[in-house]
A and B are shown apart, each in its own frame.
Chain A
Amino acid sequence: KAGVTQTPRYLIKTRGQQVTLSCSPISGHRSVSWYQQTPGQGLQFLFEYFSETQRNKGNFPGRFSGRQFSNSRSEMNVSTLELGDSALYLCASSLGPRESYEQYFGPGTRLTVT
């Protein structure tokens, strides 16, 4: 069974631009969560989607948004990029919200904002 895939793997953007990251969950998984990893902050929860609906949202500004499609694939968007948005963005999938203890992570997208 294929794992969680994230595209692109690396991205360089300029301040003020916007970016869209994509995540394809493991087949059969309907829950997708997004995390931001920065040095010294660990993994910070961004949001979780299940059945195309946002279930939970972390403490991030409205510039960070996401969505989930009917095939469970998910995208996250960051508008008006700031230097501090440079981070590794990780996506994790699970069968459903009740199985969030068994999340499988993708390799991440490394975003650099210059």
Chain B
Amino acid sequence: DQQVKQNSPSLSVQEGRISILNCDYTNSMFDYFLWYKKYPAEGPTFLISISSIKDKNEDGRFTVFLNKSAKHLSLHIVPSQPGDSAVYFCAASASSGNQFYFGTGTSLTVIP
């Protein structure tokens, strides 16, 4: 049973516009969330995180929003750049030291 879901397998956005990637989870015990970016032939690289005590975390062009009541998080990329084209995974964990559950990924294409 997939505890972390990314329902959009792919997303295309024009360069300079906003990219919004969504992630839903089912386990209310999850309290730490990560986003990873993955290029072909490379392992995922950490992008940004958020803990359940916050509802927003920003890092440059990347912002993650967490809606605990809806069990939903989203990653906003503004402005989108062609180099952002990659597969994005969200991951969730219930407290420190426990395994992370990953979503199925969303392939983002930023069109120049």
Instruction: Type the 1/0 row for B38-73, where 1 means its CB is closer than 8 Å to any CB of A.
Output: 000111111001000000000000000000000000
Chain A residues proximal to chain B, CB less than 8 Å: 4, 33, 35, 40-45, 48, 56, 58, 90, 92, 97-98, 100-108
Return B45 CB to nearest CB of chain A, in Å: 7
User: Does B99 sit at the interface, judged by CB under 8 A?
Assistant: yes
Residues of B in contact (CB 8 Å), total 26
Q: Can you list 12 A-B pairs with a CB-CB distance of less than 8 A?
A: A33-B99, A42-B105, A43-B89, A43-B91, A45-B99, A45-B102, A48-B99, A100-B96, A101-B34, A103-B100, A105-B44, A107-B41
Which residues on A sit within 8 Å (CB–CB) of B102? 35, 42-45
Return A26 CB to nearest CB of chain B, in Å: 12
When A43-B89, A48-B99, A97-B97 are in contact, do A103 and B46 touch as well, CB less than 8 Å?
Answer: yes
In the A-B complex, the 7 residue pairs with the closest CB atoms: A105-B43, A42-B104, A43-B102, A97-B97, A56-B99, A42-B102, A105-B44
B44 in contact with A100 (CB, 8 Å) = no
Query: With A and B bound together, what is the CA distance between A42 and B97 in angstroms?
Result: 21
When A33-B99, A41-B104 are in contact, do A101 and B93 touch as well, CB less than 8 Å?
Answer: yes
When A42-B89, A101-B32 are in contact, do A90 and B99 touch as well, CB less than 8 Å?
Answer: no
Chain B residues proximal to chain A, CB less than 8 Å: 2, 4, 6, 32, 34, 36, 41-46, 49, 89, 91, 93, 96-105
Return B32 CB to nearest CB of chain A, in Å: 6
Which residues on A sit within 8 Å (CB–CB) of B6? 42
Closest residue of A by beta carbon distance from B4: A42
A40 in contact with B43 (CB, 8 Å) = no
Return B36 CB to nearest CB of chain A, in Å: 8
Query: With A and B bound together, what is the CA distance between A43 and B42 in angstroms?
Result: 14
B99 in contact with A98 (CB, 8 Å) = no
Which residues on B sit within 8 Å (CB–CB) of A92? 43
